[in-house]
Structure 1
């Protein structure tokens, strides 16, 4: 299952050359991940309040393929690749029309309040599991 999240490039997203500044793609895919989690019926603030756990980005492997420009309409695609006891691996892409501009594999880990590794609660793994199919 691929989740999609639409956004538009604003002037503030661009650099002196008029293209999207490279670090902003990370912001775009963060928004896509947040909306993906929300679409699965999970409330991250509630999860933290109830269990003390949060998700943190452990690793990002990114490829910048083509530039996006001011006023482009983009779509962030998010797809779960694997879910284990304490981590989630996602493939994410930023698209313009059918053209892939940016792609990344993101590894998220579950951590406790002190920053220590934590297991993803079973009920949460159940909510995430359908996203793999």
Structure 2
């Protein structure tokens, strides 16, 4: 397990297509927002997921997600999605992701990712990927 690391932040703008009939962000779209932010978190650490798949036949998949919807986001809101590494195991990554509008926390999720071979079997996270995901301790 690793020590807590600095959170990564990714901007998101709420578009009309993200909202429901009530004019607020449709609940499932928060999952899309945090998925984009997770991809950017991995990319910011120098991990090329397409190359991992092509070269090693491994991918990351969501194993578990627990979400809390705290306040609604609305059309044209400028949001920030933070991604924070909580733990890094042999084949598992645990994250906390939050969606913020300024100083207001709107959404929070505990996300567990697993490393898998393309056929679905568990795979160890390669050492160089582990090192890239956990370099900045504070």
From 23, 34, 37, the equivalent of 1:32 is 37
Alpha-carbon deviation of 1:72? 0.4
Task: Indicate conservation of the 8 Å contact 1:80/1:132, yes or no.
Answer: no
Q: CA RMSD in A?
A: 0.8
The TM-score normalised by the length of structure 2 is 0.94
- Does 1:80 pair with 2:88? no
Deviations 1:46-91 (A, max 9, x none): 0111100000000000000000000000000000000000000000
Alpha-carbon deviation of 1:113? 1.5
The TM-score normalised by the length of structure 1 is 0.98
From 115, 121, 129, the equivalent of 1:124 is 129
From 43, 47, 61, the equivalent of 1:56 is 61
Distance 1:33 1:131, change over 3 A: farther
Which residue in 1 is equivalent to 2:13?
A: 8
Whole-angstrom CA distance in 2 between matches of 1:130 and 1:98: 27
Runs of at least 5 residues in structure 1 that lack an aligned partner in the other structure: none
Alpha-carbon deviation of 1:131? 4.7
Deviations 1:16-41 (A, max 9, x none): 00000000000000000000000000
Whole-angstrom CA distance in 2 between matches of 1:21 and 1:110: 29
Which residue in 2 is equivalent to 1:93?
A: 98
Runs of 4+ in 1 over 6 A off after TM superposition: none
Whole-angstrom CA distance in 1 between matches of 2:75 and 2:16: 6
Task: Indicate conservation of the 8 Å contact 1:95/1:101, yes or no.
Answer: yes
Aligned residues: 133
Runs of at least 5 residues in structure 2 that lack an aligned partner in the other structure: 1-5
